[in-house]
Copies of this chain bind each other. A is one copy, B any other.
Amino acid sequence: MALLILGHPDIEKSLANKTIIEELENSGLDLEIRNLSKLYPDYNITAEAEQEALLKHQNIVFQYPLYWYNMPAILKHWFDVVFTYQFAYGSKGDKLKGKNFIPSFTVGAPESEYYTLGEHHFRIYEFCKNLEQTAYYTQMNYVEPFYFHGTSVNAGYTEEDVKVKARTQGKKLAEMLSRL
């Protein structure tokens, strides 16, 4: 049983993220998916509804495409609105304690560009410190991110390439969730 917070602005037009979710849905896991952009097209995220969903689950998956080395705005807004004082942190803010914080994202460019002399200069984990520390500060267990490179069909990857990699990620994620 897991909660999946989907931070894709338009999942219907997505290839990689959509395939990962289909794979998860086909895995037979008991999965609650919250598609933020569909639930909150005007960004008016309801803290109470989201916190209620969080309380029901032990495993929280964050699924999104990496945009500008970071999560999309709708997911950032979710953290800002939902991870409140005395819920997620503070003297009484232990409601997320011990839950698993599981990032799962997709990266447009190839891995070979994510190194010091490459076009993107940094390794992916260097862009994940904010996730890691958000987990620590809320007493959650940070799980090393699931991700793959090369989702951009414009960059020469075929649709089938992307689907194969996305299915693999979905499978790995489902396997881990079934063990947790």
Contacts and interface: CB of A to CB of B under 8 A. Distances in A.
Interface in A31-66: 42-43
A136 B137 CA distance: 30
Q: How many copies does the complex hold?
A: 2
A93 to B, nearest CB: 13
The number of chain A residues touching the other chain, given as a range, is: 20 to 34
A137 B69 CA distance: 11
A77 interface: yes
Given A43-B43, A121-B133, A133-B122, A79 B68 contact: yes
A67 B134 CA distance: 10
Contact of A73 (B77, B130, B134): B77
Contact of A133 (B69, B71, B79, B130): B69
A172 interface: no
